[in-house]
Amino acid sequence: MLQKLTLFCVLAFVFNGISQISEFKVGLAKTDITIYKKGGGMLGYSMAFNVSEGIETPLFARSFVIEDASKHKVAIVECELCFIPSELKANIVNLLQKNSATRDLTEENVIIMAQHTHCGPAGFCHYASYNMSVPGYIPEIFDFLSSKIAASIIEANQNIVPCNIKLNKGFFPEDWEVAFNRSLPAYNRNKDVIPLKHNDRHKAVNREMTLLQFEGENKFPLGSINWFGVHATSISNDIKNINADNKGYAATFLEQHFLAKNKNYVGAFAQGTAGDVTPKFVYNPKRHWQRGYWEGKFPDDVASAKYNGDLQYKKALEILESENQYQVANGSIHCAMRYFDFSCITIDTMYSHTADIKTTSPSCIGMTMLGGALMDGPAAPKAVVAIGKVWTRGIRLVELAKAAIIHNEKTEAIKLKYKVQGRKWIALESGNNRLLGTSNVKDLILPAFMDPTIATFKRYHKNGALKEHTWSPQILPVQLVQIGDVVLVSIPFEITTTAGRRLKKGIEDLYANENIKEIILCPYANSYSGYITTYEEYQEQMYEGGHTVFGEYGLAALQTVFKELYNEKHIPLHATENKITPPRFSEKELLKRSFYERKKEKGKK
């Protein structure tokens, strides 16, 4: 009897790690996705001189395929790219469908995020407005990224093992120089914040990191993914090497830390509410104005990116080593996704806070967006922006005067546009294919030699490359991914600190009776169409407001569609009445808009 009891105790000790494993399984993979076209633009700063000439760091896709006890799966991928076009995700899913082992991974249960480096490749977007600074579409980059990211998911799916999923959070102390609000005047307009001065702008951000940890048997470290909002813009627009920026360095540091325990550890650093958050905080007037006068901890941008990445790495490691871990409750994996036409959302009055019916309009970009974000990368000179504001104000007056005299469908659309877009100085109507008030871009009064992007617009308009579709996406996906008692919320926008906090609170309210432990916002996911600010921030019309493309109630529109998705979350995508899907681009149109080498770079220092 004593021998049997002793044997039982030994076995209990040996298998203790196994007995504590949850019902979840996970597979992880890390795949090199480094690619660029020499002399081709990098995606993010939209400056003609910001071109690729070499490689500073590789770029990776980090994939996590999670499975529940009923064999339901979700694939979560974090890519070291600027953003994820919906057409790229669609092609990746198409490749997954061709593999017998991953046919259960569809657009509904795959979430692909970008960490928003501005030093990655460009040219893999189908929409015209994202091709202008490259200049053009580069099919070999699109095909390469599609195949490599799909391969990463397939590999992760092959590596599935039992695991525990743990959740924890940590706050960056205020003296850690990791994140700063770059648009404080807009932030201070919010009614639910305490106005702050410039020296306190580090307090006007969400300093919390949220982390999911994956452990195998006997607490074997498999990998982790965390979310924290700070722009991956430590590297400025005058550096011409591919670089994964601060979040790339953070991931590398964390994976190097775990080399001795697990050489295949996958550590992903995803974005949070980074819309108005910069890693730069030192003013250096000796810098060239087109680069911007702001920098990180050091004059050397690569050193600053490593410094910021090291802070993120140390916080992630601190969270991983904390004893205060919450184990994600066993439960099912459920994914819901819908496409919405954001150009015509009728907004729920509970989010617009007005009895009047509010709507969105086709996307418009303001002059302040074309002027750039001064701390992270200025674009057009201030004088040009000022002239542009006068010009666009004149266009507005003329169009509204005509609309007051002539009453038809077109003039009603003009009235709606200016009502919805509010204080914005509209420069580019990417939803209606107009630039500076005209659809006849090739004959625009501005000469082609004035700016390389104007030259590219004129070139593509002349050869008929701008006719088939809108210049930026109007039909966008939103997605809810529930893993036990954690919900991931995928957002195809950059979202500001306060807008993100309000959106998260609204979704928490939707799930109030469902015993959900944590809501995690996942921006830069599955598609991309600019920013989301609060209504108050929009009125300031800084860079972020100028790039909140669907109008001043953009946040309310996003809240509205998530409410609709929540109410239908148990209806599969294929069974819904809403059959809206993104447009398909013809090879003919893309060929007309293909990459070409500029003879001379304008704006080069």
Domain boundaries, the chain: 22-340+474-575
Contact predicate 213/279, CB 8 Å: no
pTM: 0.94
Task: Tell me what pLDDT residue 380 has.
Answer: 85
d(CA 148, CA 144): 6
Task: Tell me what pLDDT residue 600 has.
Answer: 55
The type of residue at 278 is: T
Q: What does the block give as tokens for 501? A: 């906090």
Task: Tell me what pLDDT residue 25 has.
Answer: 98
Coil, strand or helix at 180? strand
d(CA 348, CA 565): 13
Task: Tell me what pLDDT residue 574 has.
Answer: 85
Task: Tell me what pLDDT residue 575 has.
Answer: 86
Contact predicate 33/55, CB 8 Å: no
d(CA 124, CA 592): 15
Phi, psi of 550 (to 5 degrees): -95, 10
Please list the ranges in the chain whose pLDDT falls under 70.
1-20, 600-605
Q: What does the block give as tokens for 351? A: 């989010």
Closest alpha carbon to 269 in 155, 113, 120? 113
Coil, strand or helix at 326? strand
Q: What does the block give as tokens for 117? A: 């480096």
d(CA 573, CA 412): 34
Task: Tell me what pLDDT residue 17 has.
Answer: 41
The type of residue at 354 is: T
Coil, strand or helix at 247? helix
- List helix spans (H) across 276-408: 301-321, 349-352, 367-370, 382-405
Task: Tell me what pLDDT residue 298 has.
Answer: 98
Residue whose pair of structure tokens reads 């090879």 in the numeric block:
587
Task: Tell me what pLDDT residue 510 has.
Answer: 98
Peptide bond before 135: cis, by omega within 30 degrees of 0?
yes
Contact predicate 491/84, CB 8 Å: no
